[in-house]
Amino acid sequence: MAITVILAHRTRIVRDGLRYLLQQQANLQVLADVSEGSAMLEAVQRSHPRLLLLDHELPSGPVHQAIRLSRRLEPDTGIIMLTIPADSSVISRYLQMGVLGFMGLDYASDELLAAVDQVQQGHIYLSANLARLSMPRPLAVDHRTNGSINSQELTERQREILALLAEGRSTKEIAHDLSISPKPWTPTAKT
């Protein structure tokens, strides 16, 4: 089944290029491309996409308001922010709202496709030019609950793993390089 996508970017040529790139992928289907926040919300409500590619500066209102409304309409829709500045406070704010993917101002098409894949799996993705930012207060965010914050802060090791994931490394590669198990940790009850 195809991953359905809505593109929301202020620049027509960017939307056209993104549409062309995505339509070359058998597993992706672009439902709409829009240039402003209100049109994006209408498209989300009408189409129920699995993924939203969103410019961080859209006409017709603040983007953070459009994100919050789209999360209420479709809480399971993955969101990737496009052309976001390399500013950790901006990224932190969007993370708190449930955005999982972040593409800087300069990225290749294969990196965007990797972001689509990672966000569809529920993972956070930072493009290579953003992956090395130091976040002022990294937080674990439950994006399925409208961006409410889980008070558990990420450890240095978790941030290291997150940066490697953002580089496109697989779980197996990361586990090998860091000498850790590729299996998720789960607490066990002692008898």
* Residue that wins the pLDDT comparison between 104 and 135: 104
For residue 16, what pLDDT is reported?
96
* Residue that wins the pLDDT comparison between 172 and 80: 80
pLDDT band of 12, cuts 50, 70, 90: very high
Answer whether residue 16 is part of any domain: yes
For residue 151, what pLDDT is reported?
36
Q: How many alpha carbons fall within 13 Å on the CB side of residue 178?
A: 20
For residue 166, what pLDDT is reported?
65
Q: Looking at residue 149, which CATH number applies to its domain? A: 3.40.50.2300
Of the candidates 145, 134, 129, the residue with the CA atom closest to the CA atom of residue 96: 145
Domain that residue 91 falls in? 3-154
For residue 168, what pLDDT is reported?
67
pLDDT tens string 82-120: 978 877 788 888 888 889 999 987 888 999 999 999 999
* Residue that wins the pLDDT comparison between 184 and 178: 178
For residue 167, what pLDDT is reported?
65
- In this model, does residue 184 exceed pLDDT 60? no
Average of per-residue pLDDT across 165-171: 68
For residue 182, what pLDDT is reported?
64
- In this model, does residue 150 exceed pLDDT 50? no
For residue 130, what pLDDT is reported?
81
Query: Of 42-46, 58-62, 167-171, where does the model show the most confidence?
Result: 42-46
Answer whether residue 159 is part of any domain: no
**Exposed / middle / buried, residue 78 (Cβ in 10 Å: 0-12, 13-18, 19+):** buried
DSSP-derived secondary structure for the chain: -PEEEEEE-S-HHHHHHHHHHHHTSTTEEEEEEESSHHHHHHHHHHH--SEEEEESS-SSS-HHHHHHHHHHH-TT-EEEEES--S-HHHHHHHHHTT--EE--SS--HHHHHHHHHHHHTT--EE-TTTTTPPPSS-EEEEGGGTTEEEEEEPPHHHHHHHHHHHTT--HHHHHHHHT--SSPP------
Number of structural domains (the chain) is 1
Q: Measure the CA–CA gap between 182 and 131, rounded to whole angstroms.
A: 21
Residue type, 153: E
The partner residues of 140 in beta bridges, in order of sequence, read 150
